[in-house]
Amino acid sequence: MASGGDVPGLIRGLEGIIAAPTAICELDGINGRLLYGGYDIADLAEHATFEDVVYLLWNGELPTADQRAALSGSLADQRAIPDQLVQSLRLYPRGANSMAALRAAIAQLGLYDAESESIDTVALRRIGMRLTAQLPTIVAANQRIQEGRDPISPRRDLGHAANFLYMLSGREPSEGDARALDVSLILYAEHEMNASSFAARVAASTLSDIYSAVTAGVATIKGPLHGGAGEAVMRTLEEIGTVENVEPFATAALAAKRRFMGFGHRVYKNGDPRAVILRAMADEATQRTGDRKWFDMSVALHGVVYREKKLHPNVDFYSASLFAALGIPAELNVPIITIARIAGWTAQLFEQYADNRIFRPRAAYVGPAPRAFPRRGQ
């Protein structure tokens, strides 16, 4: 098998390769800064809503009050998903992986969209709106069906984040919970040329349709080295079990070269700015609930991993204890990341279709030299 070790010109994992220009998101890994359209993520987290950020990512500017109302109304109007899709969700196997179900559902959603094959600029915008509006409905409906309950229809009068929490539980969330999810969606909405955005762009670069490109994004974000870490962090905390066990467990695991999900980053080497915001939010949310166990364990694990490996937590680390405090089951952590990231994927896909060249890198051949086909019978 090719190890790729010393092949001239090979850049493993395409590290540092610039694959496209973008006006959407700037990621400064050295200084730990993330900006959407020139606005710092910390300012957006403090002052914006997810709907504002969707507008910003798609249009390059924050919306005026009228533009915000139009976009929010448009998203709210298009939340319902086709009945055929709900029927299909009911047929998915019990216990199906939540991201596998979402991947299948998004691929299927395209079948019911009469415009799905169009890559015309205006049609792409309309499809992007529908995808952003409908992903939360799919995730909530699938979760309830998996739990043996009926899906809950979306409400038009609630914001994007609040409506999602409502569709999960049937109860209108508190303002604090809705805002915590809203800010999480902002933090997860876009992240430059990460693996899933790249996968989506690669699919689009063949001029395949946007549903195919988004399905490629979902398939890619699912992996534990990417968005899948969002669930893996909670599974690790469950495995460790108690605050007291963090130190012995983590020290032994790191000595045995275990990789802790939720730590490290390809680009941020001095810390992920989103993790700082999420830590404060998880702290606040767990103070509200009074159940601090997962947060306290996270703080302790952060301490050990930093002390032993000098690795900082990434966006997926403190979101695990935050989402748990919002009453969200761990299997929904990655679908929620996807509900947010659809905004960034679609923005990047608009860019890709507007200025396309097919992605077609090379591989360095390291297999056997040319050889004669053996004669039969010899």
Contact residues for ligand COA, defined by CB under 6 A: 13, 225-226, 229, 259-266, 309, 311, 314-316
Smallest distance from the beta carbon of 150 to ligand COA, in angstroms?
A: 34
25-28, strands of its sheet edge to edge: 25-28, 33-36, 39-40
Q: SS3 of 49, please?
A: coil
Nearest Cα to 144, choosing from 368, 331, 371, 348?
331
Smallest distance from the beta carbon of 365 to ligand COA, in angstroms?
A: 24
Would you mind telling me the total number of residues written for the chain in this entry?
A: 378
Smallest distance from the beta carbon of 297 to ligand COA, in angstroms?
A: 16
196, 228, 249 from 286: Cα distances, Å: 31, 23, 23
Which one, 13 or 377, has the nearer CB to ligand COA? 13
CB 107 within 8 A of CB 215: yes
The one catalytic residue in 113, 177, 272, 316 is: 316
CB 275 within 8 A of CB 313: yes
Which one, 237 or 311, has the nearer CB to ligand COA? 311
Smallest distance from the beta carbon of 316 to ligand COA, in angstroms?
A: 5
The one catalytic residue in 265, 291, 296, 302 is: 265
Which one, 63 or 264, has the nearer CB to ligand COA? 264
Indicate the residue whose CB is closest to ligand COA.
264
Nearest Cα to 82, choosing from 57, 109, 59?
109
Q: SS3 of 17, please?
A: coil
Smallest distance from the beta carbon of 227 to ligand COA, in angstroms?
A: 7
Which one, 10 or 96, has the nearer CB to ligand COA? 10
Backbone angles phi, psi at 35, to 5 degrees: -130, 135
265 catalytic? Reply is yes
Which one, 257 or 371, has the nearer CB to ligand COA? 257
What residues contact 175, with CB distance under 8 A and at least 6 apart?
none
Backbone angles phi, psi at 90, to 5 degrees: -65, -20
Smallest distance from the beta carbon of 323 to ligand COA, in angstroms?
A: 15
Q: Where are the alpha helices (DSSP H) in the chain?
A: 41-47, 50-59, 65-77, 83-91, 98-111, 121-146, 160-169, 175-188, 195-205, 210-221, 229-240, 243-255, 273-289, 293-309, 315-325, 333-354
Which one, 178 or 232, has the nearer CB to ligand COA? 232
| DSSP conformational letter for 26 | E
316 catalytic? Reply is yes
Tell me the catalytic residues.
265, 316
